[in-house]
Amino acid sequence: MKGAGTSSSKIYFYDVVDSTQDTARKLGPVEEFTTVVAREQTKGRGRSGRQWCSPPGGLWFTIVLYPGTPIRTHALLSLISSLSIVDAIEYMTGLRAHIKWPNDVYIGEKKVAGILVESDVVGEIMSKALVGIGVNLNIPLDSLPEELRDRATTLLEEYGRKIDEREFLLAVLREFKKHYEDYRAGHHQQLIDAVKGRMIMMGKIVSVYLDDAVITGLVEDLEINGSLVIRSKGDRVVLSPAQIKKLELV
Ligand code: BTN
């Protein structure tokens, strides 16, 4: 493990870990923005207990935060992470990426990055949050499992050449800190507007898969807490990220 300091935070680089989420947690009480990066994860995890394929060449990292903000604003942490990745991709490659609500980043029709936010809650307040970000950076497409290749992509595939991993990481962290400051300062509407501008699904018809139902409708808006607003059969339906199993364009 190697530690590198920046003006306000430390970045720990590991070779192989189970999951950067667990490694970050095991560090105990560290400074806010401390970041754990691994070259490879053996038990990378995604949302809903899914596995996250994390071979070498990808950028797998976790940022430690102490938000002190209400748990009802949890979705905003995912959204500002997505926004930071989209911005970093554009800055580093000129490619236009999009946010697939609530926590994926796509290039065209394919997923290039995902976000997993795990938080500790005391009362109604998030005392600690581990923001886990996985970016398929310098991975040849054929190093991804075959079953992922029709719905996932990598920046190496899209950009055609390797991207400096540390430079990309610093670009994401820089954007993230900026958006996180706005989040902490309560500038939520401004962030939601920025996210809406980068969401693939705004104004499109989608199907949303819940535990026991599928809702099809037009994506109308994002609420200030990051919930999705859909117009379905004349009704205004508001959905939080926790309710959604799957979301797809119709
Ligand atoms: C998803 O799309 O389901 C979320 C994927 C999140 C993956 C990242 S990689 C770094 C961090 N460590 C993990 O085990 N998961 C997150």
pLDDT digits (tens, 9 = 90+) for 23-55: 999 999 999 999 999 999 999 999 888 999 999
- Ligand 1 midpoint to CA 36 (Å): 12
pLDDT category, 9, cuts 50, 70, 90?
A: confident
- Across the chain, mean pLDDT equals 94
Ligand 1 binding pocket includes 104 (Cβ within 6 Å): yes
Q: What is the pLDDT of residues 222-245, one digit of tens each?
A: 999 999 999 999 999 999 988 888
**Helix ranges (DSSP H) in the chain:** 20-26, 74-93, 155-159, 165-184, 188-197
pLDDT level of residue 5 (50, 70, 90 thresholds): very low
pLDDT (0 to 100) of residue 219: 97
Atom 14 of ligand 1, residue of closest alpha carbon: 44
Q: Is 20 in the pocket of ligand 1 (CB under 6 A)?
A: yes
Grouping H, G, I as helix, E, B as strand and the rest as coil, residue 24 is helix
Residue nearest to atom 11 of ligand 1 (CA): 132
**Nearest atom (ligand 1) to Cα of 41:** 14
52 lines ligand 1 (CB under 6 A): yes
- For residue range 120-176, list pLDDT tens digits in order: 999 999 999 999 999 999 999 999 999 999 999 999 999 999 999 999 999 999 999
Regarding the beta carbon of 35 and ligand 1, being less than 6 Å apart is answered no
How many Å lie between the centroid of ligand 1 and the Cα of residue 5? 24
pLDDT bin (cut points 50, 70, 90) of residue 191 is very high
Which of 40, 45, 153 best tests ligand 1's pocket when mutated (most atoms within 8 Å of CB)?
Answer: 45
Question: Distance (Å, rounded) from C-alpha 169 to C-alpha 17?
Answer: 18
Residue with CA at minimum distance from ligand 1 atom 2: 114
Q: For the residues of 140-165, what is the DSSP string, one character each? A: -GGGS-GGGTTTB--HHHHHSS---H
Q: Tokens standing for 58? A: 């990808």
Judge contact between 198 and 105, C-beta under 8 A. no
Q: Whose CA is nearest to atom 7 of ligand 1?
A: 134
The count of other CB atoms within 10 Å of the CB of residue 122 is: 10
Please give the Cα distance from 145 to 152 (Å, whole number): 10
Residue 135 CB–ligand 1 contact under 6 Å: no
Flag the least confident range among 60-64, 99-103, 123-127: 99-103
Q: Is 41 in the pocket of ligand 1 (CB under 6 A)?
A: yes
Q: How confident is the model at residue 6 (pLDDT cuts 50, 70, 90)?
A: very low
